[in-house]
Amino acid sequence: MTDRSPPLPGFCHRLATASDEAEISVLMDRAIGELLKGFLSPEQVVVSRSIMGLDRTLIADGTYFLIHDDETGALVASGGWSRRATLYGGDHSTAQRNAALLRIGEDAARIRAMYTHPGFTRRGLGRYMLAICEEAARAAGFSRVELMATLAGKPLYRACGYQEIEYIISASENGVDVPGLRMGKAI
A 10 A CB-CB count for 158 gives 14
Q: Indicate if the pLDDT at residue 51 is higher than 90.
A: yes
Q: Give me the percent of the chain exceeding a pLDDT of 90.
A: 92
The overall average pLDDT reported for the chain is 95
In the predicted structure, residue 109 carries a pLDDT above the cut 90:
yes
The answer, yes or no, to whether residue 144 has pLDDT greater than 70, is yes
* Cα–Cα distance, 112 to 24 (Å, whole number): 14
Read off the pLDDT of each residue in 99-106 and give the average, rounded to a whole number. 96
Q: What is the DSSP string of 76-117?
A: EEEEEEESBS--S--TT--TT---PBP-TTTSPEEEEEEEE-
Per 3-state DSSP, what percentage of the chain is helix, strand, and coil (rounded to 5)?
A: 30, 30, 40
Residue-level pLDDT at 172? 93
Please report, for the chain, how many H helices and E strands are present, in that order. 5, 7
- The answer, yes or no, to whether residue 165 has pLDDT greater than 70, is yes
C-alpha to C-alpha distance for 145 and 83, rounded to whole angstroms: 10
Domains and CATH numbers, the chain: 11-88+98-143 (3.40.630.30)
